[in-house]
Structure 1
């Protein structure tokens, strides 16, 4: 599945962690995998990370919800509904549900 096709729209970012020694990053979130269903806990992992940018300026107002996701300019980008864009430069990503 392409990064842009992940079910991230309206998902809620819960936690972002970086493992420096493993050069990895993880975003724990609540995603809406099926329409008209409750959100499910999910994990978005990045490996062989070279850069992470996590602005928290909120130019559109505070929000933990995701607006869109794309891969552009050699970076995975997650646009938040706050107007901030999280950016991770990494070799690969993985996506899975947690505890299902």
Structure 2
């Protein structure tokens, strides 16, 4: 599935982690579209990552939409913030708790 089409609109972003030695970023949270389900996005070979949390549109940890050009990935938050990563690829998984 293409990054922009992942079912993450309104999902709750709970955690962002980065493994320096593995150059791997892991983003995880809760899916709103499937109550009780969690998601995990794992980005590989991450060369850059930027996380803003200025909340210019007000506080929110909900995802608005996603953008990608194949090596640059953006998670646009409903707070007006953005998480951007430059990575070689990603994997997505959803699970029911």
TM-score by length of 2: 0.92
- Please, which runs of 5 or more residues in structure 2 have no aligned partner? none
Partner of 1:14: 14
- Superposed counterparts of 1:1-100, under 5 Å: 1-33=1-33, 37-72=34-69, 74-98=71-95
Return structure 1 stretches of 4+ with deviation > 6 angstroms: none
Give the CA RMSD over aligned residues: 1.6
Give me the whole-angstrom Cα distance separating, in 2, the residues matched to 1:97 and 1:90: 21
TM-score by length of 1: 0.89
Pair 55,73 (structure 1): closer, same or farther in 2 beyond 3 Å: farther
Give the C-alpha shift of residue 30 in structure 1.
0.8
State the number of aligned residues.
97
Is the 8 Å Cα contact of residues 7 and 32 (structure 1) preserved in structure 2?
no
The 3-state SS of whatever aligns with 1:4 is: helix
Question: Structure 2: how far apart are the matches of 1:62 and 1:39?
Answer: 23
The alpha carbon displacement at 1:73 in A equals 8.0
